[in-house]
Amino acid sequence: MADASANKAFPVSWDQFHRDARALAWRLADAGPFEAMVCITRGGLVPAAIICRELGLRMIETVCVASYHDYKNQSELKVMKEIAPSIRAIGDGKGKGVLVVDDLTDTGKTARVVREMLPNAHFATVYAKPAGVPVVDTFVTEVSQDTWIYFPWDMGYSFQPPIAQGAGG
């Protein structure tokens, strides 16, 4: 499991995240049609806004699953808000026709919890780590398990030392 002390850092700018979320929307355009979207909060809110705009989706729901309680280490999962019954009733009642979106699938634990709620939904994420890849249907970029992704909403502008400096060079 990755944590903030991981050896590799992957800072993502707002521009890059927007491009990557739109790239995900392009991939999802042929995977539908989708009647509704469920975004996994909080990380899934930003890509969900971009993807629902691009795909023309207006029925948007959230499921609140907390796994990073200290912004450093993934810990016990807690479902803070379930999916609305109106979303569960779509299609076959098991998620067919529902798109589930998140920013990152790390270990896959959060996605597995949501997949239990909607087993036939289409799961998409902007970034995926190897342990999370088997749980998602569509993603844009795979990063190594020991990489910590710094999302633009978690960062401010500051100096970053060269990679070689951090590797003892």
Cα torsion at 147, 15, 34, 94 (round to 10°)?
30
Catalytic residue among 103, 137, 146, 154: 103
- Give the span between the Cα atoms of 66 and 132, in whole angstroms: 16
Topology of 8-156 in CATH?
Answer: Rossmann fold (3.40.50)
- Give the span between the Cα atoms of 48 and 21, in whole angstroms: 8
108-158 pLDDT, tens per residue? 999 999 999 999 999 999 999 999 999 999 999 999 999 999 999 888 777
| Catalytic annotation present for 103 | yes
44-90 pLDDT, tens per residue? 999 999 999 999 999 999 999 887 555 556 568 889 999 999 998 99
pLDDT for position 164: 79
Edge to edge, what strands does the sheet with 36-41 contain? Answer: 74-81, 60-68, 36-41, 98-105, 122-128, 138-142
Catalytic residue among 30, 106, 137, 146: 106
Domain boundaries, the chain: 8-156
The residue type found at 153 is W
Beta carbons within 8 Å of 39's beta carbon, 6+ residues apart: 45, 47, 48, 60, 61, 62, 63, 100, 101, 102
Catalytic residue among 102, 137, 146, 154: 102
Its pTM stands at 0.85
